[in-house]
Amino acid sequence: MAVEQKIRIRLKAYDHEVIDQSTQKIVETVTRTGAKIRGPVPLPTEKHRFTVIRSPHKDKDSREHFEMRI
C-alpha cells in the first residue's frame, strides 16, 4: 500500500492581494505536477484591537482605539 503524502499551507498577510497572487501561483504549480488539490479555503480574519491613552501625562479617561486585521 502506498502512503498518501499531504501538505497543508497556511498563508498570512496584511494585504489580501498578496495572498491572492501567492495562492494562484501555488495552485498553478500543483496542477502542473498532477497532484490532487483542495482549496484554497479562506480562513476567518483575525482582529487585533489596541487601546491607547491619548495624552501621555493626564486624563486616563480619554482613550483611542486601533484595530489591525490580519
Domain with 57 in it: what CATH number?
A: 3.30.70.600
pLDDT band at 57 (very low <50, low <70, confident <90, very high): confident
**Structural domain contains residue 29:** yes
**Structural domain contains residue 49:** yes
pLDDT digits over 17-43, tens only?
999 999 999 999 999 998 888 888 888
**Structural domain contains residue 51:** yes
- Phi, psi for 56 (deg, rounded to 5): -75, -15
**Residue (of 19, 8, 12, 17) closest to 48 by Cα position:** 12
Structural domain that includes position 61? 16-69
**Structural domain contains residue 22:** yes
Provide the number of structural domains found in the chain. 1
**Structural domain contains residue 33:** yes
